[in-house]
Structure 1
Amino acid sequence: MAHPGVQVVNGQNNPDTITHLCRSLGISPTLTFHDVLSTTPDMLSHIPRPVNALILLADTPIYLATRSAVEPTIHLYAGSGPEEPVLWMRQTIGHACGLMAVLHVVLNLDSGKHVTGSELQALVKKAVELQPTERAELLYQSKFLEEAHMDAASQGCSIVPSPREDCGFHFVAFVRKEGKVWELNGGMNGPLLRGQLEGDLLSENGLEMTVNDFLQAAETVDHRGISIVAVSG
């Protein structure tokens, strides 16, 4: 089902703010970020493919309408090690759901090749071997993550809200890895497997596995907005 309009939250989740954060973290410029202003085929045709990751931002009423019944079904994740199908990180850093969404994307796409040579590469080598609690603590104590986070905030990037601001929005990352689609949200109990997919995330089946239920909820509840960024590269 195509949704002709997506009410974009200005400044909250857009390619410029995400690109700024990625450059601060030393992430490869081969990853590019693109607004998804509509899920109609004509509008999607302007986005470079394949798209194997999406970053979604949804106002709380939309998020609750789609995930309040889902979250209790997700078992508390206890995985670790390189054999795990996906790298998931619990969020313990306040006001960092945008940062966590970006990390979930770049650390899982293409086996993490987009962080080669960066401080993130060294961090992820440690993180992979740790249990979720210790992994979250490693992120929390990482000075360079804090600096990139604060730099984005100082540039006015509202992907990083002020510590005094309760933005009321939720970031969710969707990643297609080895043919499986994962929903990655550090505020949930663990990663959520959405299914097996042959095409990319902007294919009809890809949209159905990822953002369509959020877009449908946006048509039925009062909200301040929803936005989607596609990740190409």
Structure 2
Amino acid sequence: MSGEAWTTIESDPGVFTELIERLGVKGVQVEELYSLDADSLQAFEPIYGLIFLFKWQAEPVARPMYPEYEERGIFFAKQVINNACATQAILSILLNRPELDIGEELSQFRDFTAGFPADLRGEAIGNSETIREVHNSFTAPHALLPENPETDSEGEAFHFVAYTHRDGSIWELDGLQPGPVCLGEAGQDEWTQTAASAMKKRIAQHASHDIKFNLLAVTKCRRTALQDALTDNWVRCAALEEAAAGSSPAAQELAACRHEGARLSAALDAECSRRAAWSDENLRRRTDYVPAVFNLLTALAACGELKGLVAAAAAAGGGGASGNGESSDT
């Protein structure tokens, strides 16, 4: 197994969307969910998979695994790499949705690992330079990482679990388990409700003492969906223009069509702006600001202004820093 470290990455739709694109996948993005009700899920259809991030705790009762999952074409990999659970959850969805264009790299990876046991598939993920480099690309090159990067500031470990639909069934894919869990049969149009019910049960287990969780949906690229809808709208408006001459109902329908076109165009512009903002945020995430800060502090010290600024900051913060300019926090 490769000795290269995997860094933690932020649970953020902009991060995961760019990660998916940099792996070569086309037409897919990630959205954050604030509710698991039917209307919220319907707003993001088609949904290819759901991701549940939660504070990990040992399961009091072993979850029932589905032993014949390979016979049904399910891709499942054990997590054997620290900090890889976010990317592994995404891969568990992408590699189990045959209708997606996952690109040459992931297609070759899926073919190469076909027939591998789950632990060797996990090793293969760890040994993939492409997957590791894309995963690590959202961290600054010289970032100062905590000694145990799998935990938060309170020493709590967090974990990602994926849910998806394949071969007529809903699957829970958790790399810390020995195999996938089959949550039952469902059609493509209703599987998300069953998966949502399973996530609600897991949330309820922690609701009394913990609210640290996050929900994400892997969906069709909104820019692509809006552009397709806008193209259809243009075609429909063009047909209505020919029929509108001398026809009041057709003229009214044309006005409604043009109004819908304006709405779609505004939504597409807003989505493009959101993508640009995601790109800017990701650029900041991978930028190493330490040299700039170091040089700034050096320059302030050289001109004799650093101690005064530190003292002023300490006074403004209620004495949060000592008089010698060193932080009192550990």
Q: Could you state the TM-score of these two structures normalised by the residue count of structure 2? A: 0.55
Hey, what does 1:140 align to over in structure 2? 126
Hey, what does 2:76 align to over in structure 1? 88
Q: Could you list the per-position Cα deviations for residues 160-182 of structure 1 after superposition, in whole angstroms to 9, with x for gaps in the alignment?
A: x8774132111000011122000
Task: State how far apart, in whole Å, the 2-side matches of 1:39 and 1:136 are.
Answer: 30
Hey, what does 1:70 align to over in structure 2? 62
Identical residues among aligned pairs (%) = 21
Hey, what does 1:200 align to over in structure 2? 190
Hey, what does 1:179 align to over in structure 2? 168
Aligned-residue CA RMSD in angstroms? 2.6
Distance 1:207-1:132 versus aligned 2 partners, 3 A rule? closer
Question: Match of 2:114, SS?
Answer: helix
Match of 1:226 among 213, 228, 249: 213
Unaligned runs of 5+ in 1: 1-10, 156-160
Q: Could you list the per-position Cα deviations for residues 84-114 of structure 1 after superposition, in whole angstroms to 9, with x for gaps in the alignment?
A: 43110111111111011011011101x2633
Alignment pair present for 1:152 and 2:150:
no
Contact kept in structure 1, 2:65 and 2:182, CA below 8 Å:
no
**Which structure has the highest strand share of the two?**
1
Task: State how far apart, in whole Å, the 2-side matches of 1:52 and 1:200 are.
Answer: 12
Question: Match of 1:39, SS?
Answer: coil
Hey, what does 1:39 align to over in structure 2? 36
Residue-pair matches, total: 203
Name the aligned partner's letter for residue 31 of structure 1.
V
Contact kept in structure 1, 2:72 and 2:167, CA below 8 Å:
no
Hey, what does 2:113 align to over in structure 1? 127
Q: Could you list the per-position Cα deviations for residues 56-88 of structure 1 after superposition, in whole angstroms to 9, with x for gaps in the alignment?
A: 10112xx54xx43134x437x6875xx443110
Higher alpha-carbon deviation: 126-135 or 95-104: 126-135
Contact kept in structure 2, 1:78 and 1:131, CA below 8 Å:
no
Task: State how far apart, in whole Å, the 2-side matches of 1:133 and 1:41 are.
Answer: 36
Contact kept in structure 1, 2:169 and 2:186, CA below 8 Å:
yes
Largest Rg, 1 or 2: 2
Contact kept in structure 2, 1:53 and 1:201, CA below 8 Å:
no
Q: CA deviation at 1:196?
A: 0.7
Hey, what does 1:191 align to over in structure 2? 180
Unaligned runs of 5+ in 2: 1-8, 152-156, 221-330
Runs of 4+ in 1 over 4 A off after TM superposition: 77-80
Alignment pair present for 1:166 and 2:150:
yes
Q: Could you list the per-position Cα deviations for residues 145-198 of structure 1 after superposition, in whole angstroms to 9, with x for gaps in the alignment?
A: 11111112339xxxxx87741321110000111220000011110111111112
